[in-house]
Structure 1
Amino acid sequence: MRETWKPGDSIARFIDHICLQPSATAIEMGRVCEEAVTYAIRSLNISGYWVYACKEQLSGTNVFISAVCGTPTGSTTRVKVYEAMEAIDDGADEIEMTVPVGAVKEGRFGLLSNDITAVVRAAEGRAAIKVAIQAHLLTAQQLSEVTSIAEAAGASYIQNESSYYEGSVSLIDLKRIGEAKTRGMGLIACGAILNRESAYQMLAAGADRIATRAAPIILLSDPTSAL
């Protein structure tokens, strides 16, 4: 069952900590895992390369592993399915997949539906699927269309941007996505959420979770944090 944030709650369990630095070493990823446990963060968003090692280190904790696939450009469906299955076998609890934005802009919604459905089926209920839609590149109508398609395909979450996105988060986009989905699918706000104030703003705007590279900074300044 999806947790719901309420004012006064600690936001740690609603944060996905993005750790996708291409130069990351085993020592650095080990430190990231330690931080995730210390801050009681919801999940680590990492590449498939690190899933097995991080899952092993986080065994026995409440921290989830979220692996990216087909990110950030969308890739082909077969590549996404392979990456998702391998990451799940290695211990991923969640898969973040990126839709092919060109297909959305061209109105190729059948292709889009098949793409998401294939990854959902590959997960076979073993992992939640988060669909990243690159909202900053889409129109209001396209946002509505892709959100409805993702939900119909069985996605657990819709995410406004991929975890590689470092730009600002549009509250207007979040509102449009929220209006196009039902309560059955969660909403993740991803982008330059760099402080406590912006984190609370995203949650108050309807996001169920936030994905950020600044989790430790946010939580060190959060009075509801246990630290």
Structure 2
Amino acid sequence: MAGRTDDDWAAFIQQKISEVLSGTDIVKEAPLASISTPEDPRFPLAIDHTLLKQDAIPAQIEALCDEAIEFGFKSCCVNGLYVKSVVERLRNSQTIACCVVGFPLGAGSAESKAYEAQAAIKDGALEIDTVIPLGLLLSQPPRYADLFDHLQTMIRSSAPVPVKVILETGLIPSPELKVAACVIAAEAGAAFVKTSTGFASGTGATKEDVSLMYRSVRYKGNVKVKASGGVRSFDACKEMFAAGAERIGTSSGVSLIKKSVTTSGAY
């Protein structure tokens, strides 16, 4: 898809928007829709146990790792400062280190994000979560070609480590633009499209957005959906799985396993 102009992208994206929003795209049962209890062995493997607050201290990161090991979560998702220590703490466990890049604004250059991702991977990160430069999508008209080049640069620099692309869906004003963001991320090589950072005021994952994202990337065959931001109960997880999510990003992983609901303000 490299070398396409904005007009080329607009035509391609409009075709995808029509397919997704027309309702003619038949969606089979989502891959994890059958998870009905926290005891399902697939459940902890769908959790990115997350601590991204700027005031997180090393002792809290250590506790995050210990919880992830105890409950068998897929990953510990942290800022780059802590990747090396997280990798060491997780040694000899099945849990991997995931690092956020260009987080939470996504407004850095593609080259700076590529460097940040490569540094995290050097420290042992096995997954990268990055944020789209939202202004390029919201431009009038959208700067699709620039957005694609930006994401492809960063994703290629991380290979073969998979990259999850955070859309910040709560700040995208229309279904059409959400489909466009998903399509561009998928074409750029994203392993996942992800709902939210959890940092933008009043935004988070919704089952409607997850369903839309799932339908938007199905044509690629290998791109998955991660729901993050405000997923704080097991019932909410089930809704996200039914809508198409295959990964949940949350700081409430332990309480989700225990079926409890956390207080507001958690990621």
Structure 2 length as normaliser, TM-score?
Answer: 0.78
What one-letter code is carried by the residue in structure 2 that aligns with 1:210?
A: I
Report SS of the residue matched to 1:181: helix
Shift of 1:25: 2.0
Q: 1:44 to 1:218 in 2, by over 3 A?
A: same
Contact 2:214 2:243 in 1 (8 A): no
Report SS of the residue matched to 1:21: coil
Other-structure match for 1:189: 227
Shift of 1:163: 4.9
Other-structure match for 1:42: 74
Deviations 1:144-203 (A, max 9, x none): 111111111111000011254574422221121111112310100111011111111111
Which of 104, 113, 116 matches 1:72? 104
Report SS of the residue matched to 2:128: strand
Note if 1:94 corresponds to 2:119.
no
Instruction: Please give the residue correspondences for 1:111-122 in structure 2 after superposition, counting only pairs within 5 Å.
Output: 111-122=146-157
Report SS of the residue matched to 2:120: helix
Q: 1:163 to 1:52 in 2, by over 3 A?
A: farther
Other-structure match for 2:87: 55
Q: 1:168 to 1:121 in 2, by over 3 A?
A: closer
Other-structure match for 2:249: 211
Structure 2 CA distance for aligned equivalents of residues 24 and 178 of structure 1: 32
What one-letter code is carried by the residue in structure 1 that aligns with 2:121?
A: I
Structure 1 CA distance for aligned equivalents of residues 185 and 60 of structure 2: 34
Q: Once superposed, which parts of structure 1, at least 4 consecutive aligned residues long, lie more than 3 Å away? A: 163-168
Shift of 1:17: 1.2
Contact 1:199 1:210 in 2 (8 A): yes
Instruction: Please give the residue correspondences for 1:5-24 in structure 2 after superposition, counting only pairs within 5 Å.
Output: 5=32, 6-8=34-36, 9-10=40-41, 11-24=43-56
Which of 204, 207, 212 matches 1:176? 212
Structure 2 CA distance for aligned equivalents of residues 129 and 96 of structure 1: 6
More deviation in 173-182 or 40-49?
Answer: 173-182
Other-structure match for 2:180: 145
What's the % identity of the aligned pairs? 24
Bigger Rg, which one? 2
Report SS of the residue matched to 2:67: helix
Q: 1:205 to 1:89 in 2, by over 3 A?
A: same
What one-letter code is carried by the residue in structure 2 that aligns with 1:20?
A: L
Structure 2 CA distance for aligned equivalents of residues 17 and 31 of structure 1: 11
Note if 1:128 corresponds to 2:162.
yes
What one-letter code is carried by the residue in structure 1 that aligns with 2:99?
A: A
Shift of 1:221: 2.3
Shift of 1:88: 0.3
Deviations 1:123-155 (A, max 9, x none): 121x11000011111111111111111111111
Structure 1 CA distance for aligned equivalents of residues 199 and 124 of structure 2: 22
Structure 2 CA distance for aligned equivalents of residues 36 and 101 of structure 1: 31
Structure 1 length as normaliser, TM-score?
Answer: 0.91
RMSD (CA atoms): 1.5
Structure 1 CA distance for aligned equivalents of residues 198 and 130 of structure 2: 10
Shift of 1:76: 1.6
What one-letter code is carried by the residue in structure 2 that aligns with 1:82?
A: Y
**Structure 1 regions of 5+ residues with no counterpart?**
223-227
Q: 1:60 to 1:171 in 2, by over 3 A?
A: same
Contact 2:49 2:252 in 1 (8 A): yes
Q: 1:46 to 1:163 in 2, by over 3 A?
A: farther
What one-letter code is carried by the residue in structure 2 that aligns with 1:174?
A: V
